[in-house]
Amino acid sequence: MYITVSIENGYATVQWNRPEVLNALNTALMAELTDTLEALDKDDQVRCIILTGNEAAFAAGADIKEMAEASAVEMLLHDQFARWDRIRKIKKPLIAAVSGFALGGGCELAMACDIIIASETARFGQPEITIGVMPGAGGTQRLTRAIGKARAMEIVLTGRFITSREACNAGLVNKVVPDEAVMDEARRLAHEIASRPPVAVRLAKESVLKAFDTTLEGGLEFERKNFYLLFASEDQKEGMKAFTEKRKPAWKGR
């Protein structure tokens, strides 16, 4: 068991811990993480999920020792990326609270989240090239979309680590905070998102993500349909009524 979960104020905090290997993501940890996220995605008490490691590392990548001797066919049959596809399908907002190293699969896991809060001393990178491979869990795609071709290319081809400040300036990270404030900031944000109407949050997340894999035309159409769909929710009626009556809305999540 590598993972602990706590639920408060409408959000869950999922924390993993393999301190002896800087939270390297082995198969067992990833299996536990995926199952945990899917269970929380179905839990009505939870409206937002924080993912975090420990102070030394969010995660220093996939577990190199676990895969070092694998053959291509073993890797193919093991199909560890199927789990990553399941994480991509989580409907609730995911906030990565990153301290320490977020490297390789660790950086990719942070990028699979919707928002990244990082400590001042956190380091991001895709160092796979330095061990004879390349990113495999979305790094070449998500990093490029987040920070552009020129910067992504340099990071992927050199394996250089970047500071959280550089990551923030480039658009990879939402906010950099002092080391001791990372969890507080992630909780503040999670609480704020959890206080929003959940159906609208779900469709809004889905619509933003759609921008990654469609044309502008297709994305606008998708957005519009989700917008219309929200007029079928009780929360839309409540939200607009509350605005008119100058009071706080009481969301039902329907």
Binding region for ligand CO8 (CB under 6 A): 21-22, 24-25, 30, 60-65, 80, 101, 103-105, 127-128, 131, 136-137
Shortest spacing between CB 142 and ligand CO8, in angstroms: 12
Specify the residue, 82 or 150, whose C-beta has the smaller distance to ligand CO8: 82
Shortest spacing between CB 52 and ligand CO8, in angstroms: 17
Specify the residue, 69 or 245, whose C-beta has the smaller distance to ligand CO8: 69
Specify the residue, 18 or 92, whose C-beta has the smaller distance to ligand CO8: 18
DSSP secondary structure letters along 19-57 = GGGTT-B-HHHHHHHHHHHHHHHT-TT-SEEEEE--SSE
Shortest spacing between CB 19 and ligand CO8, in angstroms: 9
Check if the beta carbon of residue 12 is closer than 8 Å to that of residue 49.
yes
User: Is-catalytic flag, 62?
Assistant: yes
Specify the residue, 33 or 48, whose C-beta has the smaller distance to ligand CO8: 33
Under DSSP, the state recorded for 248 is: -
Single out the catalytic residue among 108, 112, 138, 186: 108
Single out the catalytic residue among 104, 105, 106, 138: 105
Single out the catalytic residue among 59, 60, 62, 122: 62
Q: Which residues pair with 59 in a beta bridge?
A: 102
Q: Which residues pair with 137 in a beta bridge?
A: none
Q: Which residues pair with 219 in a beta bridge?
A: none
Question: Which of 143-163 are b and which e, b meaning 16 or more Cβ less than 10 Å from the residue's Cβ?
Answer: bbbbbeeebbeebbeebebbb
Q: Which residues pair with 7 in a beta bridge?
A: 12
Shortest spacing between CB 241 and ligand CO8, in angstroms: 47
Please enumerate in sequence order all residues whose Cβ is within 8 A of that of 223, keeping only pairs 6 or more positions apart, or say none: 207, 210
**Which residues are tagged catalytic?**
62, 105, 108, 128
